Amino acid sequence: MNQISTRDRTTADAGQTAAPDKLSPGASQADTPAARAPAKRRGNYIRPILMLGGIAVVIIGTGYIWITGGRMVSTDDSYVEAAEVNATTDVSGIVSHVLVHEGESVKAGQTLFELGQHRYQIGLDGAKAKLAETALTLASMREDYQRMLKVADTAAAQVAEDQADFDRYASIIKSGGVTRAEYDDAKYKLQADQANLGALQEQAKTQLAKLGDDPSKPVDQYPQYQSAEADVAEAQRQLDHTTVRASFDGIVTNVEQLQRGQFLTAASPAFGIVSTDDVWVTAQFKETQLTYMRVGQKVTIGVDAYPADKWTGVVQSIAPASGSQFSLLPAENSSGNWVKVVQRIPVRIRLTGGPKDVRLAAGMSAEVSVDTGHKRHFSDLF
C-alpha cells in the first residue's frame, strides 16, 4: 500500500511538471514567461539610462556651480566700525556743567560740558589791558621820536651857530680882534654842541629802529602790538575751550565718568562720541580672495544682530598691508623655521543703503559678500 501511494504522488508531480504550458482556466496570457521577457528586457535598458543620466546631471550641475561660483567673495570676519572720539579739551579746570546724558544723540557744535571760566576771563581781561597799553606805548614812542627830531634840529642849529662863531674868531685871532681865551671857548663850545647833536641823532635812530624804521605806519602793524594781540587771541581761545562742543553728529557714551565739580586736566578724555553718519564695515579677507577684488565693486552686507535685514555698499579701499604688519610684534621668519599662514588684508566697505529704522553699533559682527564680476571658464582647468 505504501509503495502504491508513493508511486502515485510521483506520477502526479511529474504530470504537473510535464505540462507547464497548460493554462488554468482563470490565468491571463500576460502572466506567461513569454509575456514577461520583453518587460525584463525594457528594465535592463532603463536602469543604465537612469544611472548615466544621474551622473550627467551631477557633472553638469557641478560645472555650473563651479563656473558661476567664482564671482562672489565672502567672509564673516568683518565688523561694523564708526568714527569715534573722546570729548576733551586742552585747558584745565573744574567741571561746572554737564549738558548731555548717556546715549543721547547730539549734533555737531552742540555743547557737551563746560569748565569754570572765571580764571580764563581774568586772563583775557589782562591780555586786553596789555594790548591797550602797548598801543599807547607805541603812540608815545612815535610822538617821542618826533620830539627827538625837533631837539636834534635845534642842536644842529646851535652847532651851525657855533661853527660860524668859531670861523669868525679863527679869522681875526691873528690880528688881535679876539683873545686866545675867547677863541678856545668858541672851539670847545663847538665841539660840545657837535657831540650833543651826535647823541641826539643816535637816540632818534634808536627810537626809529623800535618803530620798525617807519614811524608813520598804523599802530596795529608794529610787532609789539601784534605780539600783544596774539596774547589776547590765546586768552580768548582758552576761554572758548572751556566750553566743549561735539565735533560731529553722534551718540555720547560713558557720560557718567564726568561729574560736576570734578577737576579735569588738559587733554584728559571726558567721555566718548560715536558717529551716526560716518559708519563703515571693515572685512578681513584672506589674501587669496583679493585676486579679482577692486575698489568700487558692489557689496552685500548682513549683520548678525539683524538677520532679516541687508545692507548694500561698495569697496572703498583695500589696505596696502596685512593686519600683522601693524601689530606690536610683527612676525619675523629670519630663522628659516616657519609655517606659511594665509594673511588677512583689511578691506574697508562704505555703506550705500539699508534699513532706515535700524541703527548699526560699532563693533557688531557682519558677513559681507563682494561681487567681483569675475566669470570662470573651462579653460581655467587646463
- Output the CA–CA distances (angstroms, integers) from residue 376 to 70, 72, 139, 289, 372, in the order listed: 6, 12, 84, 15, 12
**371 DSSP 8-state letter:** E
Hey, how many other C-beta atoms are within 10 angstroms of the C-beta on 191? 13
Please give the average pLDDT of every successive group of 10 residues along the chain, which has 382 residues.
44 44 48 58 71 82 68 93 94 96 95 96 97 94 92 94 90 83 90 94 91 88 94 97 96 94 94 94 94 94 95 96 76 66 92 92 96 74 56
Output the pTM of the full model. Answer: 0.66
Give the CB-side neighbour count of residue 366, counting CA atoms within 13 A: 30
Residues 6+ apart with CB under 8 A from 376: 66, 67, 68, 69, 70
Paired with 272 in beta bridges are 86, 253
pLDDT of residue 324: 77
Whole-number Å distance between alpha carbons of 197 and 156: 6
The answer to whether residues 122 and 267 touch, using CB atoms and an 8 Å cutoff, is: no
* Grid cell at residue 31: 502572466
Domain 85-115+242-264 has CATH 2.40.50.100: yes
- Output the CA–CA distances (angstroms, integers) from residue 268 to 39, 113, 271, 347, 377, in the order listed: 92, 14, 9, 32, 59
Helices assigned H by DSSP within 211-349: 223-240
Instruction: Return the CATH number of 70-84+275-381, one of 2.40.30.170, 1.10.600.10, 2.30.110.10, 3.20.20.80.
Output: 2.40.30.170
* Grid cell at residue 20: 507547464
